[in-house]
Amino acid sequence: ASLDHAGGQGSSAYSQRELWAPSRVPEVNSREVPKWMEADDIAAVVAGFGTAAALAVGAGCDGVEINAGQHSLVRQFLSGLTNQRGDEWGHDRLLFARQVISAVRATAGTGIVGLRLSCDELAPWAGITPQMAVDIAAALGEDLDYLVVTRGSIFSAEKTRPDFHEPTGFNIDVCREVRGALPTTPVFLQGSVVDWGQAEWALGDGVCDAVEMTRAQIADPDLVSKLSADAAHTIRPCIRCNQTCQVRDARSPVVTCVGEPTSGRETEDPDWYAHTARARNVLVVGGGIAGLEAARVAAVRGHRV
């Protein structure tokens, strides 16, 4: 389960409460000026992370992942872009992250505790840089079971889930650097890794210990089983179009795929590809996208196409 607090990102329109942040830096989109978090506010949020971890593990989750990526209060405390405090929380920008990790550890029991860390905010004048990320990872890594390398912040949101205009595996270089600083903590590569061949190369070349392939598995939920069965040639590729897999409204978080329309709808009809009890001869007139998909589904279900 992912644990997060958006901090100074978002809007008070939904909650009718002020935004909380390390410093009074206006939100990029809503332009709201957040509340400067006082000591009691910080303590309440840290305790909240601990409570959330206990609830997640108690509900049966194997562990939790603390978000210090693009949309997170933890990252805001780590970054000079958003943490301009003159007290202990600003003098030691890692203090908040340390306390959150400690609180989660204390309540997660034997559950896994990971961290999703923005290792480059793409704002070198004040934000987290790859060089800083190596130091941050080294300082926090001993208390983690794994670390996911991400890139971007609210000031560069297009880098958090880029489309086909960006190269695949764009976090490879920074991931390799971070992994070098964490010899005993598994480091995960994230960032437009949609091709299994690139994932295999990254693992073999020492870039990372594991690879996150979210969109690739939305495009083909059977990706792992096909690889295990030596059927990689049948994997439906992710084209990184971001048309239906990117949640645009938190009130309706439907995630699906233009190439695999059954993704995200598994609970509506779990037997999308159920084998038919009576095979028929099927003629599909037309070889466009709809015709090809109709032919494929009919064949998968056992019909003679």
- Residues 105, 20: one domain? yes
Q: What is the rounded CA–CA span in Å between residue 94 and residue 97?
A: 5
Domain closes at, from 185, 212, 239: 212
Number of domains in the chain: 2
Q: Is residue 192 a contact partner of residue 169, using CB atoms and an 8 Å limit?
A: yes
Burial of 238 (0-12, 13-18, 19+ CB in 10 A): buried
The answer to whether residues 85 and 201 belong to one domain is: yes
Task: Calculate mean pLDDT across residues 52-75.
Answer: 97
Is residue 193 within 8 Å of 149, Cβ to Cβ?
A: no
CA-nearest of 32, 26, 28 to 12 is 32
Distance CA 217, CA 236 (A): 9
Asked if residue 156 is part of any domain, the answer here is: yes
Query: What digits encode the pLDDT tens for the residues 162-212?
Result: 899 999 999 999 999 999 999 999 999 999 999 999 999 999 999 999 999
Residue 222 is assigned to a structural domain of this protein:
no
* Whether 190 and 284 share a structural domain: no
**Rounded to the nearest 5°, which phi and psi values hold at 79?**
-100, 140
Say if residue 9's pLDDT is above 80: yes
The answer to whether position 254 is within a domain reads: no
3-state secondary structure of 125: coil
Band (264; pLDDT cuts 50, 70, 90):
confident
Among 180, 212, 244, residue at a domain's last position: 212
Q: What is the CATH number of the domain that holds 10?
A: 3.20.20.70
Answer yes or no: are the C-beta atoms of 57 and 42 closer than 8 Å. no
Same domain (yes/no): 76, 190: yes
Give the closest residue to 37 by CA, choosing from 261, 28, 46, 29: 46
Regarding whether 282 and 205 lie in a shared domain, the answer is: no
Residue 231 lies in a domain: no
| pLDDT at residue 263, rounded to an integer | 87
pLDDT band at 13 (very low <50, low <70, confident <90, very high): confident
**Residue 248: band (very low, low, confident or very high) from pLDDT cuts 50, 70, 90:** low
Q: Average pLDDT of 263-276?
A: 83
For residues 88 and 181, membership in a common domain is answered with: yes
Query: What is the model's pLDDT at position 279?
Result: 97
Kindly state whether residues 159 and 295 are assigned to the same domain. no
Q: Given this model, what pLDDT does residue 21 score?
A: 98
pLDDT confidence of 249, banded at 50, 70, 90?
A: low
Shared-domain flag, residues 183 and 285:
no
To the nearest whole number, what is the mean pLDDT of the chain? 94
Lowest-confidence region among 43-57, 115-129, 216-230, 261-275: 261-275
Provide the pLDDT for residue 250: 64
- What is the predicted pLDDT for the residue at 265? 83
**What is the mean predicted confidence (pLDDT) over 246-272?**
79
Supply the pLDDT for residue 294.
Answer: 93
Q: What is the pLDDT of residue 184?
A: 96
Residue 279: give the domain boundaries.
273-305
State the pLDDT at residue 69: 94
Of 142, 136, 170, whose CA–CA distance to 68 is shortest?
136
pLDDT of residue 230: 96
Q: For the chain, give the number of residues.
A: 305
228 has pLDDT over 70: yes
What pTM, to 2 d.p., does this model score? 0.91
User: Is 70 exceeded by the pLDDT of residue 60?
Assistant: yes
Amino acid at 49: F
Strands 35-36 and 20-21, how do they pair? Answer: parallel
pLDDT in tens, 105-147: 999 999 999 999 999 999 999 999 999 999 999 999 999 999 9
